A and B are shown apart, each in its own frame.
Chain A
Amino acid sequence: DAKTTQPNSMESNEEEPVHLPCNHSTISGTDYIHWYRQLPSQGPEYVIHGLTSNVNNRMASLAIAEDRKSSTLILHRATLRDAAVYYCILIRGSQGNLIFGKGTKLSVKP
Chain B
Amino acid sequence: GAVVSQHPSRVICKSGTSVKIECRSLDFQATTMFWYRQFPKQSLMLMATSNEGSKATYEQGVEKDKFLINHASLTLSTLTVTSAHPEDSSFYICSALGLAVAYNEQFFGPGTRLTVL
Spell out A's residues near B (CB within 8 Å). Answer: 32, 34, 36, 38, 41-46, 49, 87, 91, 94-95, 97-103
Chain B CB count within 10 A is highest, among A44, A49, A98, for A44
* Chain A binder among B41-49, B61-69, B71-79, B80-88: B41-49
Choose one: B4, B46, B49, B109; the contact of A99 (CB below 8 Å). B46
Known: A42-B110, A43-B111. A97 touches B104 (CB 8 A): no
Asked whether A41 lies within 8 Å of B104 as measured between CB atoms, the reply is no
Smallest CB-CB A-B distances: 3 pairs? A43-B108, A100-B44, A100-B43
Q: How large is the interface on B (under 10, 10 to 19, 20 to 34, 35 or more residues)?
A: 20 to 34
Asked whether A94 lies within 8 Å of B103 as measured between CB atoms, the reply is yes
Choose one: A42, A49, A87, A102; the contact of B104 (CB below 8 Å). A49
Asked whether B111 lies within 8 Å of A101 as measured between CB atoms, the reply is no
With A and B bound together, what is the CA distance between A42 and B107 in angstroms?
12
